[in-house]
Structure 1
Amino acid sequence: MAEQCPVIAITNRKGGSGKTTTAVNLAAELAARGWQILLVDADSQGHCALGLGVAPPTGHPGLHQLFRDAQISLASLQVPTLQPGLTLIPANTRFDGRVTGIEDDLLARALCELSGYDLIIVDTPPSVDPVLLNALRAADSVLIPVVPQVLGSAGVRQLAQLLYQVATQGRTDLKLLGLLPIMCDRSIPSHARVLSELGLTFGAQRIFRGIRPDVRLAEAFGAGQPVRELAPRSRGAMDYFMLVEELTALAEFPHPLSTTLQGDR
């Protein structure tokens, strides 16, 4: 392709951090504004397809086939979704991670062969394995969802060490977009305390407004729809709308090459 498409990794080493919910709803919100989005599910749980109501064709090998067959074209793995402007490369839920000799930049090279997208969003696995390292090395920037609890805070610090390792091993341009508080109520003292501590560590400007607790997020995911479609006036929908507002205001956030952003609300 003439110009490499920017890649954002949504990552956290702790399960239950809202990583996949964020990947699905961020992708859907951007697509609704006119972006051409590719969502890549690198987590073998395969939940991105569930959250978008997508049933991959029978026998679809999924993204993880790339780590068994480096010659496969990612273009052949793309699956349309019901959201205009949003395409999915689903995971292979049968992938057990037992592969060796995977090159760290395999995914980066494969993504470079794709064209027609303004942004690629990668939902990463939580475990530190070759797939996660491939996703981080393919990314230009990272968004970290975090539940504002002690264990969530500890997980972010562990992830920061891994990001530093990736950056010092050739990806010196890898950017941290910021931390996204999930299921966050800043009126709860423990939440406010954890966010304050994370702000001291990473910089208060790196802490996004966040996503408040909202049962409609889980309901939408279970229904196979982005929350902006199932419950457009819910707190969850409003919060992901505001996340896109915050992200697109960042100088380091990639902007579409071929689209004009228009809100669709």
Structure 2
Amino acid sequence: MTAILAVSNRKGGSGKTTTAVNLAAEWGARGRRVLLVDLDTQGHAGLGFGVVARRDEPTAHHVFSRPGFALDDAIRPTASPNVAVAPADPLFDGTDVADRSVAALRRQLGAPAIRARFDLVILDTPPSLDLILVNALVAADSVLIPMIPHALSAEGVRQLTRLFFRVATTVNGGLTLAGLLPVMLNPRTTHHRDTLQEVGTEFGVERLLSGIRSDIQLAEAFASRQPIRDHAPRSRGAADYRVLADELAGLWTGAPKRQPHEIRQS
């Protein structure tokens, strides 16, 4: 079965796209066939791999706007091993939705063509509470919530978890929470430590992942349209996303497990 992970936060600028791109690249490098579906109309997840849809080209958003559309038609290869991208439609504004079913994306990801091609699907979701975000949660097996450790981002986590539990108790009983991921983290900053302690108390310290430290090379990687493991493989950011991939393997049943021949980079 193809595992499906939604990377989401109700607050923009929370590191969800950086996380989606770099997890996809890390798992692809470990030999897993990964599809990254860019559901945020900013299109930054596709941009992270140098994939941008031109006008009138098939995109992930055509699942909702074109009757009879097959997501498989929007999938593009990337330069990263084993990673493909279904790019976003930057012109999609939600006014021309043809399929308003909350299960439209789940049906597409369950198609034999997708199941046969990919071991893992990563959904980069929009920050807005709309039909696209609900579709992502209905389609997913699990949700990873990146968050900047300050008060506003913590409120975005609270808003998303309310929606998470609503979906999990109604239309997707198998949905799990993979974890809360601190990003742009500086462990020496008092406010960061205090915020993480508060989030751990509220949601459970066992749900808090180690986190991604602040690293300007993560932003530079996007400018070069490459994941961090290709742009700066010895950077803090690359090391932290390797650790994240290992952590998720122990917390989420759908995450790829490390194989004995996989040697961790220093």
Which TM bucket (shorter chain)? over 0.9
Match of 2:101 in 1: 103
The residue that corresponds to 1:139 in the other structure is: 140
CA positional deviation for 1:52: 0.9
Whole-Å Cα distance in 1 between the matches of residues 106 and 50 of structure 2? Answer: 27
In structure 2, C-alpha distance between the alignment counterparts of 1:139 and 1:146, rounded to whole Å: 19
* Alpha-carbon distance, 1:71 to partner: 1.1
Partner of 1:185: 186
* Distance (whole Å) between structure 1 residues aligned to residue 129 and residue 67 of structure 2: 20
Deviations 1:12-36 (A, max 9, x none): 0101000101000010011011110
Aligned amino acid, residue 103 of structure 2:
D
Deviation at 1:62, TM superposition (A): 0.8
Q: 1:40 aligns with which of 21, 27, 37?
A: 37
Aligned 8 A contact 1:108 1:138 in 2:
yes
| Shift of residue 61, structure 1, vs aligned partner | 2.5
> Would the alpha carbon gap of residues 55 and 158 (structure 1) be closer, same or farther in structure 2, given more than 3 Å must change?
closer
Task: State the shift of 1:250 in Å.
Answer: 2.3
For 1:118, give the aligned amino acid: D
The 8 Å contact of residues 58 and 73 in structure 2, kept in 1 or not, is answered as no
* Structure 1 CA distance for aligned equivalents of residues 261 and 2 of structure 2: 17
What secondary structure, in the 3-state scheme, does the structure 1 residue paired with 2:117 have?
coil
CA contact (8 A) 1:65 1:72 kept: yes
Whether 1:202 and 2:196 are equivalent positions in the alignment is: no
Tell me the TM-score normalised to structure 2 length: 0.93
Instruction: Measure, in 2, the Cα distance between the counterparts of 1:186 and 1:206.
Output: 18
Q: 1:106 to 1:128 in 2, by over 3 A?
A: same
SS in 1 for 2:174: coil
Matched, 1:89 2:86: yes
Contact 2:248 2:255 in 1 (8 A): no
Q: 1:23 aligns with which of 20, 23, 32?
A: 20
Matches within 5 A, 1:218-229: 218-229=219-230
Contact 1:214/1:235 (<8 A) preserved: yes
For residues 82 and 21 of structure 2, what CA distance do their matches in structure 1 show? 13
Q: In the TM superposition, what is the alpha-carbon distance from 1:68 to its structure 2 partner? A: 1.2
Quote the residue 1:165 is aligned against.
166
Report Cα offsets for 1:37-76 as digits up to 9, x if no partner.
Answer: 0000011111112111124466312111111124111111
Q: Does structure 1 conserve the Cα–Cα contact (< 8 Å) formed by 2:3 and 2:254?
A: no
Distance 2:252 2:62 in 1: 35
What is the aligned length?
260
Query: Deviation at 1:197?
Result: 0.9
Tell me by how many angstroms 1:200 deviates.
Answer: 1.0
Q: Is residue 27–residue 256 contact of structure 2 (8 Å, CA) maintained in 1? A: no
Check the 8 A contact 1:33/1:264 in 2, yes or no.
no
What is the CA–CA distance in structure 2 between the aligned matches of 1:261 and 1:78, rounded to whole Å? 30
- The answer for the alignment partner of 1:262 in structure 2 is 262
Q: Which residue in the other structure is 1:13 paired with?
A: 10
1:44 is matched by which residue type in structure 2?
A: T
Q: Does 1:69 align with 2:66?
A: yes
Q: Is 1:216 aligned with 2:217?
A: yes
Distance across 1 between alignment mates of 2:81 and 2:56? 25
Matched residue, 1:119: 120
Q: Give the 3-state SS of the residue equivalent to 2:226 in structure 1.
A: coil
CA distance in 2, matches of 1:142, 1:154: 17
TM-score normalised by length of structure 1? 0.93
Range that drifts further, 163-172 or 219-228: 163-172
Contact 1:177-1:253 at 8 Å conserved across structures: no
Change in CA separation of 1:263 and 1:137 when aligned onto 2, cut-off 3 Å: farther
| Equivalent pair of 1:231/1:237 in contact (CA under 8 Å) | yes
Tell me how far 1:98 sits from its aligned partner: 1.5
Q: Percent identity?
A: 46
Unpaired runs of at least 5, structure 1:
none
